Chain A
Amino acid sequence: MPKLLSGAEIVFKALEDQKVEYIFGYPGGAVLPIYDELKNHKTIKHILARHEQGAGHSAEGYARSSGKPGVLLVTSGPGATNAVTALTDAYMDSVPLVCISGQVPTHLIGTDAFQECDTTGITRPCTKHNWLVKDVNDLSRVLHLAFEVATTGRPGPVLVDIPKDIQFKKGKYKFFKNTLKKKLNGKVSKKISNQELDKFVDLMKKSSKPIFYTGGGVINSGPEASKHLRELVSLTGFPITSTLQGLGAYPGDDPQFLGMLGMHGTYEANNAMHDCDLMINIGARFDDRITGKVDEFSPGSKKIHVDIDPSSIGKNIKVDLAIVSDVTELLKSLNKRFKEKNKNFASSNKQKTSKWWEQIGKWREKKSLNFINSNKVIKPQHAVQRLYELTKNQDTFITTEVGQHQMWAAQHYKFNKPNRWMTSGGLGTMGYGLPAAIGVQIANPGKLVVDIAGEASVLMTMQEMSTAVQYRLPIKIFILNNEYMGMVRQWQELLHEKNYSESYTAALPDFVKLAESYGCVGIRAKTPEELDEKIKEMINVDKPVIFDCVVDKAENCFPMIPSGKPHNQMILGPEEEEEISDEGKILV
């Protein structure tokens, strides 16, 4: 007869078998038995956050920068509800997370017991799946299934709710592998047929105005996918643009790369999307920030959509060729098929796409990311550019909060590798970047990790600096401080007659002193002359740093697709601002 283990022991046994090295969490009454067991498992290190949301975002940062699932351990009631934002964030951005939550003992469930909440009920819409384990003999099966669900198909968060009595009870442990009989996401994975590949190649051959539009799916598919993507782009000679989440899959400084597309994307990327005759969407989901007005989205193009999640295809935009597949698998077979029959395609096809590239060149001449620099105040774009120039020669990981600084980071920091860019795109969670940086640093010791932040966002999870100090994680919090919720202020300026309702933060803390009180290093830069030196100082400190970069308060984030307009009608800069119609004002 196999040895019986307690529920808490089973949890760790399962984590060990899943090769988990780090868990991010916060203890509490309903998870004490699990925390008690922690000391017996030396291969698993617990990172104590200061708030469960912070633990969740750290787990996300860990997952996104390492490709492994992030594990989160929280207590019942407020522990679980505090984790909801992070779970939803992970759900929107397809990040594999396994959240283990404590629950009140089974006999108290439903009695409104102390720190009880309906955790599985609350997290049902923000997880791929969740379980309330009521029998200790189910626990090992459920835990392994949880890892499988989180990491297969389109990745995402899952939650396992374990009542306290189950953590004490003895039961059998078994390592379950591939317990899912059916393939996730509804469709049985089938080999991509040659017919599909040939149609794909045929569409590419016929096109004279093609564009690749790639997204987070390429990153999620693993580093192999980026390699194959680069090969395909060079085989075809086609231009490529990327979504916010896809940055890094293709080198940001490559001449075939048109920059990010979408609401704050480049002029050339958005115009190319609008005017192309073939759009090849690989691992992106036609999000509303990308498509703008759906009826006028890329009206003249054939569209190919590759996605692992069948429900992403045809949800917002109808396509001509839909391929449900993992990106790596598809690209591997496509490249092979393509090479078999089309040697030297890029050079022989040059003629056909030369006019297209000419047109793209004209759009590029607009230099849509340009801004008017100043020698008196630090322009936020300039700060990001300097940060890029001074860090590009080392393997740097960037996280962000949400707002103007996030868009400037996406526009001006050029990524050359996947998994180097962690930002909250789908949910747009202010306060994501700092705790995410903690997780990134844990997964990548010795590497430079910078959170490009806004002062408003970063205050939402500032308490996690304490975590960074405790674990000696030398993360750099690079705050573009304009004392405003910048993106809110920008919208108010453009859409609400400059009525800056509640978007100014009075009584901000002194970030340098704040850094010192946390036991890390505070640096402030106020003028463009001192910026470079201060950034270098930040990079060279082997301690967590809060960098208060005092930037122009009134700067807006351009280019921008204004409300009610299709892709080819962008505002390029302040001189081009025009009246936005009432109809358009409703959007955010």
Chain B
Amino acid sequence: MAKSKSAYSVPGKIGKIERHIIVVWVDNEAGVLARIAGLFSGRGYNIESLAVAEVDKKKHISRITIVTEGTPQVIEQINLQLKKLVPVHKVADFKRGEKDILFRELALFKILGNSKKIEKVKKICKKFNPVVLDKTNKSVVIQVTALRAEIDKLALDLKSLGLISTSRTGAVAMTKGPKIFN
């Protein structure tokens, strides 16, 4: 069958795809993550990374940071649909690359190798706040915090130096200066 040009199923002109970081404050209750994830999958939105943890023990508020991609229209819908969920308190949204927002991801690398190699690894990681979490004479577990692309590159560089396991978080975000998200 020919490709659909139907009046009822063709999308209009597709806008430019943007990457956004969406921060959601939710009640930390059973199923809340499933609600958020279900909203994304059910409406065909994309989750690139997700980071979630309770940030207010008293009020049981969790802060979820979602990295997503979409046209401006889709991003707007994501925001509005999220705000409709009952456990959602507020939603903040910004474009990747906005100036007054800080992003960080954390990664753990396990590297096998002798101490000479490991020194080399530490040197490569130097710019990204490396912390050695575990060390044996054959291996090291090293923690870095950086931007997504930087970690991507690091992982690539470390491959030849004995990287055997990588564990990464999704991005978390915060505004610069005294302001907070509203």
Contacts and interface: CB of A to CB of B under 8 A. Distances in A.
Contact of B6 (A124, A185, A314, A586): A586
A124 B10 CA distance: 28
Interface stretch (A207-215, A290-298, A520-528): A290-298
A292 B7 contact: yes
Contacts of B10: 293-294
B86 to A, nearest CB: 4
A184 B89 CA distance: 10
Nearest to B81: A311
Given A289-B8, A314-B73, A124 B35 contact: yes
A512 to B, nearest CB: 39
B42 interface: yes
Contact of A584 (B7, B30, B80, B81): B7
Interface in A304-330: 309-311, 314-315
A295 to B, nearest CB: 5
A292 B83 CA distance: 29
Interface in B7-35: 7-13, 30-31, 34-35
A563 B9 CA distance: 10
Q: Which of A120, A311, A566 has the most CB of B within 10 A?
A: A311
Interface in A66-93: none
Contact of A587 (B7, B11, B88): B7
B123 to A, nearest CB: 49
B31 A120 contact: yes
Interface string A389-420: 00000000000000000000000000000000
B4 interface: yes
Contact of B8 (A120, A125, A184, A288): A288
Contacts of A584: 5-7
A295 B84 CA distance: 28
A124 B83 contact: no
A442 interface: no
A583 B76 contact: no
Nearest to B10: A293
Nearest to B86: A129
Contacts of B97: none
Contacts of A129: 85-86
Given A125-B42, A586-B1, A182 B7 contact: no
A587 B83 contact: no
A447 B81 CA distance: 40
Interface in B55-83: 73, 76-77, 80-83
Interface in B34-58: 34-35, 38, 42
A99 to B, nearest CB: 16
Contacts of A128: 84, 86
A583 B4 contact: yes
A582 B5 CA distance: 9
Interface in A545-588: 561-566, 581-588
Nearest to A289: B8
A48 interface: no
Contacts of A564: 5-7
Given A124-B31, A125-B38, A132-B30, A185 B9 contact: no
Nearest to A585: B1
A13 to B, nearest CB: 23
B8 A563 contact: yes
A531 B2 CA distance: 46
Contact of B4 (A120, A121, A289, A587): A587
Nearest to A314: B76
A289 B89 CA distance: 34
A311 B85 CA distance: 12
A293 B43 CA distance: 20
A292 B6 CA distance: 9
A184 B38 contact: no
Interface in A157-185: 180, 182, 184-185
A186 interface: yes
Q: Which of B7, B10, B12, B85 has the most CB of A within 10 A?
A: B7
Contacts of B11: 294
Contacts of A230: none
B3 interface: yes
Nearest to A263: B8
Contacts of A120: 31
A199 interface: no
Contacts of B83: 185-187, 310-311
A187 B82 CA distance: 11
Interface in B72-122: 73, 76-77, 80-86, 88-89, 91
A184 B7 contact: no
Contacts of B84: 128, 184-186, 309, 311
A565 B80 contact: no
B9 A587 contact: yes
Nearest to B2: A582
B8 A587 contact: yes
A258 interface: no
Contacts of B77: 311, 315
A186 B80 contact: yes
B38 A124 contact: yes
A310 B80 contact: yes
Q: Which of B9, B10, B81, B88 has the most CB of A within 10 A?
A: B10
Contacts of A581: 2, 5
A562 B8 CA distance: 10
Contacts of A289: 8
A584 B2 CA distance: 9
A11 interface: no
A563 B7 contact: yes
A314 B72 CA distance: 11
A329 B28 CA distance: 35
Interface string A86-127: 000000000000000000000000000000000011001100
B64 to A, nearest CB: 16
Contacts of A561: 7
A218 interface: no
A292 B8 contact: yes
A149 interface: yes
Contacts of A180: 86
Given A563-B7, A582-B2, A586-B6, 13 more contacts: A121-B34, A129-B85, A184-B84, A186-B82, A186-B83, A294-B12, A310-B83, A311-B84, A564-B5, A564-B7, A583-B4, A584-B5, A585-B6
25 contacts: A124-B31, A124-B34, A129-B85, A129-B86, A182-B89, A184-B86, A186-B80, A187-B83, A288-B8, A292-B7, A293-B7, A311-B81, A315-B73, A563-B6, A564-B6, A582-B1, A582-B2, A583-B4, A585-B1, A585-B2, A586-B1, A586-B4, A586-B6, A586-B9, A587-B7
Nearest first, the 8 closest Cβ-Cβ pairs linking A and B are A186-B83, A583-B5, A587-B6, A311-B80, A582-B2, A586-B4, A129-B86, A294-B12
Interface of B: 1-13, 30-31, 34-35, 38, 42, 73, 76-77, 80-86, 88-89, 91
